[in-house]
């Protein structure tokens, strides 16, 4: 008989350092030393990327453990802590019925871990910890990945559960992430949802904060050697993407569609000695945050897929950020390709008024009245809420033909050039009085690199954790969140 208990943690790190996934591996040590075994792979769950409280990637962690006899279950290695392997079992489906004294004592140990080793005390770090035998429905995840999840709702959700213990510091906002992560991790597999994996390796403490030894050539070779991996290298900007830029304990992280393939990464990268490594299952690269939304219904802090017609050519403001006005009937929105999206900005710049586009991205409007675009600042709308879609992808639905007139029509009678008789009305020969419509003139047709029906994505350096890279299309490990039939689950 196997009894399952889930553990979730969030908001334990700060901008200055720390790392929630590292704290998870410290929690795995506690489990090992307390006679608990790990079920399947710990989860790294990314939540609403537009939320103002996040410091970096808005990631929460969750894992499933059990006490009791797991001897009959198949196992595999999902990580290592120093010389000790993290052995995971394949089974993980059900929670146990109730928390017992062992679970309570485990909770106390995790509580001490969060109190001692989180970055609490730094601005904006409000840790949360949940130990539970209850199932948190998928709706909690959907809310946490797509909307603003109120903190009060997190408290009432936790208080209603009968077999749940929780702890937090500061405002305890991290509890929101814990609930979202539980809602995903407990249900993604039974609901057949798309998911990915990431292997993260960690540095020895003496290296934390020091420069990482980056190996661009080897990282470039990961793509052909491990075809199920993605976002290893930004070939356009010539930058490896697997090393973080922060002083955190992470040495590298490689993402992929198959966790068995990820195990090979350690043998391929010739790095400094790792202190530990762990494979995670994740909602990264799934587009779970994006919701098809008509342009008039776009709300702040949401992430949308919406359609419209380009109203004006793009303009670039100080800092190299490119803005484009797109409308659908009376409703309009600004699509933004910020400077970090690099070459993707050229796609936005190549759009002309009249082009039909589908926009993918997060909405993070300014609530306050901003300066007008003419002043070289962010655009402003009269009602004070500037709807700006921070573009992640853009699809060209229909391209207009951009023409520049080379010359007026030639009169077929006297072979002289006709004169215009008004804008858009046509031409007439002064001598012969023969008329021609607008099409009679000669035009230069602008050739544009944009391809109708094609989707373009931001450069790898600017890709969000949740964004599905185009290379994953067709390689999904399950259904899109929007395809799930929630009523039958």
Summarize as ranges the residues that interact with ligand ATP (CB under 6 A).
10-11, 13, 20, 47-48, 51, 53-60, 126, 144, 147-149, 173-174, 176-177, 180
Q: How far is CA 437 from the centre of its chain?
A: 51
Q: Which residues of 20-53 are buried (b: 16+ CB within 10 A; e: fewer)?
A: bbbbbbebbebbbeeebbbbbbbbbbbbbbbbeb
Which one, 153 or 372, has the nearer CB to ligand ATP? 153
Q: Which residue lies nearer to ligand ATP by CB, 131 or 322?
A: 131
Q: Find the shortest distance in angstroms from Cβ 195 to ligand ATP.
A: 17
Give me the least distance between CB of 56 and ligand ATP, in Å please. Answer: 4
> Toward ligand ATP, which CB reaches closer, 20 or 25?
20
Phi, psi of 67, rounded to the nearest 5 degrees? -110, 175
CB of 21 to ligand ATP, least distance (A): 7
- How far from 288 is each of 301, 336, 346, 351, 484, CA to CA, in Å? 15, 21, 27, 27, 11
Distances (CA, A) of 418 to 408, 415, 429, 437: 6, 9, 4, 11
Identify any residues that bridge with 253 across adjacent strands, giving them in sequence order.
200
User: Closest separation between CB of residue 463 and ligand ATP, Å?
Assistant: 14
Of the candidates 331, 374, 324, the residue with the CA atom closest to the CA atom of residue 345? 324
* 198, 228 Cβ separation under 8 angstroms: no
Q: Between 58 and 286, whose beta carbon lies closer to ligand ATP?
A: 58
Q: How far is the CB of 44 from ligand ATP (least distance, A)?
A: 9
- Cβ closer to ligand ATP: 150 or 353? 150
Q: Which one, 178 or 357, has the nearer CB to ligand ATP? A: 178
Smaller CB separation from ligand ATP, 289 or 345:
289
Q: Taking the complex as a whole, how short is the minimal distance between the CB of residue 442 and ligand ATP, in angstroms?
A: 56
User: Shortest Cβ distance from residue 372 to ligand ATP (Å)?
Assistant: 31
């Amino acid at each position: 008989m196997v009894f399952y208990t889930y553990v979730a943690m969030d908001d334990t790190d700060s901008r200055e350092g720390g790392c929630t996934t590292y704290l998870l591996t410290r929690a795995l040590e506690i489990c090992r030393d307390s006679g608990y075994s790990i079920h399947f792979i710990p989860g790294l769950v990314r939540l609403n990327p537009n939320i103002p409280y996040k410091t970096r990637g808005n990631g929460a962690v969750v894992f499933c453990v059990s006490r009791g006899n797991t001897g009959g279950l198949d196992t595999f290695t999902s990580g290592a802590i120093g010389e000790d392997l993290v052995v995971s079992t394949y089974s993980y489906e059900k929670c146990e019925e109730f928390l017992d004294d062992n679970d309570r004592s485990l909770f106390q140990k995790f509580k001490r871990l969060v109190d001692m080793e989180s970055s609490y005390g730094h601005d904006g770090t409000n840790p949360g910890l949940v130990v539970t035998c209850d199932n948190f429905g998928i709706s909690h995840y959907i809310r946490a990945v797509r909307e603003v999840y109120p903190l009060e709702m997190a408290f009432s959700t936790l208080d209603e559960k009968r077999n749940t213990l929780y702890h937090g510091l500061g405002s305890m906002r991290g509890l929101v992430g814990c609930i979202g992560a539980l809602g995903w991790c407990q249900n993604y597999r039974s609901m057949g949802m798309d998911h990915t994996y990431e292997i993260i390796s960690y540095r020895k403490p003496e290296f934390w904060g020091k420069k990482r030894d980056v190996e661009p050539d080897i990282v470039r070779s990961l793509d052909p050697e491990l075809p199920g991996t993605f976002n290893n290298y930004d070939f356009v900007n010539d930058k490896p993407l697997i090393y973080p830029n922060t002083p955190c304990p992470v040495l590298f992280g490689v993402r992929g569609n198959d966790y068995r393939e990820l195990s090979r990464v350690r043998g391929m990268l010739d790095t400094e000695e790792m202190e530990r490594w762990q494979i995670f299952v994740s909602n990264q690269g799934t587009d779970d945050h994006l919701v098809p939304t008509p342009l008039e219904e776009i709300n702040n802090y949401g992430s949308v897929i919406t359609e419209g017609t380009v109203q004006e050519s793009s303009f670039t403001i100080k800092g190299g950020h490119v803005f484009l006005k797109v409308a659908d009937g009376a409703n309009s929105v600004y699509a933004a390709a910020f400077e970090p999206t690099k070459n993707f900005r050229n796609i936005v710049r190549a759009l002309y008024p009249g082009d039909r586009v589908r926009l993918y991205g997060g909405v993070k409007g300014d609530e306050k009245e901003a300066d007008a675009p003419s002043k070289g600042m962010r655009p402003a709308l009269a009602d004070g809420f500037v709807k700006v879609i921070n573009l992640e992808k853009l699809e060209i639905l229909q391209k207009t033909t951009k023409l520049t007139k080379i010359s007026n029509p030639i009169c077929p009678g006297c072979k002289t050039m006709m004169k215009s008789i008004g804008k858009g009305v046509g031409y007439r020969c002064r001598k012969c009085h023969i008329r021609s419509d607008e099409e009679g003139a000669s035009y230069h047709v602008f050739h544009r690199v944009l391809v109708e029906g094609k989707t373009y994505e931001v450069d790898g350096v600017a890709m969000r954790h949740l964004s599905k890279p185009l290379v994953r299309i067709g390689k999904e490990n399950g259904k899109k969140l929007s395809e799930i039939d929630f009523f039958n689950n």
